Structures are given as structure tokens and as C-alpha cells.
Amino acid sequence: MKDFASVQVNWPRKDYSRVPYSIYHDPEIYQLEQEKIFRGRCWNVLCLEAEIPNPGDFRVCHVGDTPVVVNRDDDGELYAFVNRCAHRGAEIVREPWGTAKEHTCIYHAWLYNRKGDLKGVPFRRGANGKGGMPACFDMKNHNLVKVRVTSFNGVIFGTFHHDMEPIEEYLGPLFTKHVGEMFNRPVKVLGYQRQRINANWKLYPENIKDAYHGSLLHEFNRTFGLSRLTQVAGGYMDEKHRHSILFQYKGSDSDEEALKAYIENGVKKGEIAGLNDYSMVNIIDENPFGMSTRVMNVFPNCFFHQIGNTLAMRKIRTLGVDAFELTWVLYTYEDDSEEMVQHRLNQANMVGPAGLISMEDGEALEMVHRTTKSAAEEEMAVIEMGGIGEIGDRDTRVNEVTIRGFWAYYAQLMGFAPEGAEQ
Amino acid sequence: MRDLMDKPAARKTDRSIPMEVRQAADDLIMDSTVHLDRMELDAWIECFDETAEYHVIPRENLEVGYGAAVIRCNSLDVIKDRLMVLDVSSKYNPHWDRHFLNGTQYLSYEDGILEARTNFMIVQSSLEGFSKLFVAGHYEDKIVMTDAGPRLRSRVVVLDTFSVPNLIAVPL
């Protein structure tokens, strides 16, 4: 194993209110993240059960850089393996989704079942009494690398650590409650939205945990009151501060008060006069906690959103230190009326790569990544909104403490948290 | 891919469609994309009929049979709303687009509605003068012949490049 003892990060403050820009660009840190985060002691989201509903259905997912095939077997059980042939390392499954009885590597036709067990090696005994594998070759020793999977209310998570705690324990009570509620009955996939963002992957969980930007960057939010700094809102975490939920209540401020507050704070007035069709911003009340929006990050690669009535699981796949792919898996409930399905599809205009309240995020992340590349070692991001010092929940969107929570847990997993740091 | 195997054979050009109808539609399709390249969005919207729809759909969703789009405008009002938000509130990468179309295939002409299919590529250039292929796909257009000339009744943009480079702000 590569020696990563040399990977050090200079954290000048133990509350993570300063983040060195080099952390987004260092290739050794990126390599260490693959080992300590994605293949480390985490549950990574893979896909939804609704994406592979029938026996034999499979989908190729990614844990960081690592391609993982998620399969449903004849008995309905879920299995996952790394998509890398145990013979010479070739990619075995070459289509992103499908249905298969078994999987055959095209290179030398080695055959695997849906569990990833090696079941066939052509000419293992040789031909015409010549060649073949040595007598000591045992197929049982050459299965694919298995990923342990678990389904939480139909959301499939995977881990390389077969002794990980149960998913409910990993989520903790707050996220068991909210993710559980978003998947409290069978769902149907509406489709995917995908984008490739030329930025380091960590900028995305940071963005999702950043309550402050939501109405400053996304003026659509501000104008239509979907998210405003003047609203009743909050940013909460699990006890390890690795997962986060940002939420707010539409209608908890008045348009006039909000406008006044933004102008007093020097923010240019949103010029959107009005819409011809307001159905996109019309929220049908369905959140039992009354939240109009909630956006969650389940560390490290998983996100959930309820924005109005759009529902999605989002996931990221790393593509090297300089890029990641973001996939939005939009869904509806099986028992939704056709009218509700159409409403959710219409509200999907707000999200994804062309989303009226999300397209700006890709641009913001690319800007940060581009310009921090040339920063000197001592240049750092300043994360002080919501206060410094102890990391904890806040009942406001004028808040970035949740971002510090991300760095605190990340640094611990990576093994370079400074001594005496906030957790 | 399993579904590609199940697809019906490609539809052929309907050669009985009058030449002047095809020519008028060619002009409309070309003009609509030049307006986008020049960011003449008021002129672009004039290419649409008053009952028009405009959708951008990832090809993978069509292949699997999922309904979600990345842009879903079920009416001219919703198209106009998107352009207004783009104009006053959206923030995106400063760039120039350039559409490249190949010949349009005209598939049918019934009750004054022409069905047309056109492949496209869009090359995006930064303001620093660096260009790259942005997206590729095809238009599925329904064009209505009106007294004022041809108009788009619906445009479905099928997006092969569904893992979108960064973002889509300007319509495709």
C-alpha cells in the first residue's frame, strides 16, 4: 500500500473556519480520499431499489472512482461487486444498466454469477491435453471484490467494510427520520438529470451544506420566497456532524420585509416581475414537518432533496481531482395521482443542470476550482458565518457551520485532523 | 443495449411532401438556431406557435422509458418564463454557442403539421476564445403552417450528451 504519511494539511484553526485551497487540488489527497473515504468506513449510496425492480436487473454505480455493479438476484436479494475481472482486470459489465442471468467478461470469457462468484473459466483443463490452469487453481479464490449492500427504505447503500455499523446507526436518528420519511412508501423513478462539473468533488457537499448562498446566488429562490435568509430555517447535523440537513419554511417571512432586508444588506433587487405560469412555484403541502424545502447530505456521496414537490436522490462520482459527475435521480410515489406526477415533472424545471435554482451551482463550483488552483499554500477559504468555535446546529440560513462539520469529520477519516480539533 | 435492439426500423423521408413546404421549414429550423447563437431570444420565441411546447430530454430517459426532462415547457407561457428568468436572474458561464445542423429529414405532413427530424451539435466557445463540443443530439419538430409562415408547434430536443458539461442556461 502506498505510504500516505507524507500527506499533511495545514489547518491553522482547530474549528475548520479556515480551509486551505490546496485541499481541492492535491493529487495525493485525492488518492487518499479514495482509500479513506469512498473505500473507507462509510456507507456510499449506490442507487434506488426502484431502478432495479426485477430479478436480474443490474445498474453500474460508482463509489468514488470505483465502478460497482448492483444486481438483483432471482430471490429478490441485492448484491454488488466491483466491475473488474478477477483474471486481468477488464471491465466486465459494459452497459450502464440492463438485465442479465450472469456476467461474462468479453476478454477471456470468464463467467460470474450475480453475486460476483467466479463460475466459469474457459479451457481451464486445457485443450487436447495441453495447457490450462495449474491443478492448484481454485475458482473459489477468484471471486470478484464484493461490496456489502443494504437497503434503507429502498435506498441502496454499499460499503467495502463488511463490519460497518447498520445503516440506521450510520444515519443517526435525525437522518433516519428525514430520509425515512422521504422514502416512507414505494417510489417510482421519473428519470435522471446529470452534469459533469469541472471542480473537486468536495466543493459539492460544501455547496449543499452552505445555507448562506441559497438566495444570493439563486435569485429565483429569493424572488419567489422558495429560500430566503429572512425565513424560519435551520441547518442541523448528526452527532458526528458528517451528515447535514438544511430546511426552511416558505411563507415564514413577508415579501416586503425580505426585500427590505436584502436591499439594506446591499444586495441588488431581484428584477423578476412575475411569472406567466405560477404552477412551478406552487407547493402542494405534503411534508409532515411543514418544511417547504429540505436538502440533505449523507456523507460522503449521497444527497436528498425535497424542493417544493420535486423529490430526488442525488449522488456524485469522482472523475479525478478536477471533476465529478452529479446524478439526480428524480422520483415520485407509486400511489401518486397522475396530476401529482405531472406537477413533480414540471417542478423538475427548478433542478438539475438546467434548473432555475440549481444551474448556478455548477458555475460557482467551477469558478472556485479554477481560481484556487493558482493560490499560494497559505491562502484559505474563510468559513465564519453562523459563528466560529464549537460546531453545532443553527436555526438560520445565515450560516456556514454545517460546512465546518463536513471538514471536521472528513479530516478525522483522512487521519489528518489537528490535535484538539473540534469534532 | 436491449431497448435499442427492440426499436422499429428508422422512418424514411416522405418524398411526397411539397418542396416549398420543406423549404419553408428548413428556413425556420435554421433561423431558430441562429437566433439562439446570437442570443436573440425574443426572435427565437417568435419561431414558436402560440400553443407550442419545448422540451429537452436526456436520451437515457427515453431509452429506459422515464418521463423526466431537464427542461420541460408545456406551454408558450412556460417557455417565456424560462427566458425571462434567464434574462434577469440566472447566472452561468459567459460563452458563445454555435449550432451545426445537418440536413433535415421530413417524415410526414398531415393536417398542416409537418414532422421533421434534424441532428445538431453545439460548439461552445469561451470569451477567451477556447472552443469545445458542448452537446450533440437531435430535434424532433412538429411544424405548423400558418398564414404568417411556418411555426414550431413543438420541439423535443433529444440530448445524447445527457451528462451535461456544467450547465444548460441558453435553450438548445
Domain positions in chain A? 44-151, 173-414
CATH T-level fold of A173-414: Naphthalene 1,2-dioxygenase Alpha Subunit; Chain A, domain 1 (3.90.380)
Binding-face residues of A in 17-36 toward B, CB within 8 A: none
| Domain around B111 | 18-159
Distance CA B69, CA A308 (A): 17
Residue with cell 443495449: B1
- Answer whether residue B31 is part of any domain: yes
- Answer whether residue B12 is part of any domain: no
Residues contacting A339, CB < 8 A, separation 6+:
none
Contact assignment for A359 to B169 by CB distance below 8 Å: yes
- Dmax (CA) for chain B in angstroms is 48
Within 10 angstroms of residue B105's Cβ, the number of other Cβ atoms is 16
pLDDT at A263: 85
Q: Residue A356: which of B92, B131, B55, B135 has the closest Cα?
A: B92
For an interface test with B, which of A190, A262, A356 has the most B Cβ atoms less than 10 Å from its Cβ? A356
Q: Count H helices, E strands: chain B?
A: 5, 8
Residues contacting A103, CB < 8 A, separation 6+:
A58, A69, A92, A93, A111, A112, A113, A114
The CATH number of whichever domain residue B39 belongs to comes to 3.10.450.50
Strands A146-152 and A118-120: what pairing? unpaired
Are A120 and A34 spatial neighbours (Cβ–Cβ below 8 Å)?
no
What would the grid cell of residue A141 be? 479464490
pLDDT at A50: 98
pLDDT at B10: 83
pLDDT at A122: 98
CATH T-level fold of A44-151: Rieske Iron-sulfur Protein (2.102.10)
Look up residue A358 and give its DSSP letter: T
Report ipTM (2 d.p.).
Answer: 0.94
Residue with cell 439563486: A218
- Answer whether residue B6 is part of any domain: no
For residue B32, CA distances in Å to A287, B38, B101 come to: 42, 10, 11
Q: What are phi and psi of A240, to 5 degrees?
A: -90, 0
pLDDT at B3: 47
- Answer whether residue B171 is part of any domain: no
For an interface test with B, which of A93, A99, A277, A327 has the most B Cβ atoms less than 10 Å from its Cβ? A277
Q: Is B25 helix (H, G, I), strand (E, B) or coil?
A: helix
Residues contacting A340, CB < 8 A, separation 6+:
A284, A309, A332, A333
pLDDT at A228: 86
- Answer whether residue B7 is part of any domain: no
pLDDT means over runs of 10, chain A (423 residues): 75 97 97 98 98 98 98 97 98 97 98 98 96 97 98 98 97 98 98 98 98 89 83 94 95 85 79 81 92 96 97 98 98 98 97 96 97 96 97 95 98 96 94
State the count of interchain CB pairs (< 8 A) between A and B. Answer: 125
pLDDT at A215: 84
pLDDT at A226: 82
Are A43 and A170 spatial neighbours (Cβ–Cβ below 8 Å)?
yes
pLDDT means over runs of 10, chain B (172 residues): 58 94 97 98 97 98 95 97 92 96 95 96 98 98 95 98 98 98
Interchain CB contact of B94 with A (< 8 Å): no
What residues of chain B lie within 8 A of the CB of A193, using their CB?
Answer: 58, 68, 70
Distance CA A314, CA A302 (A): 6
What is the count of structural domains for chain B?
Answer: 1
Distance CA A131, CA A143 (A): 22
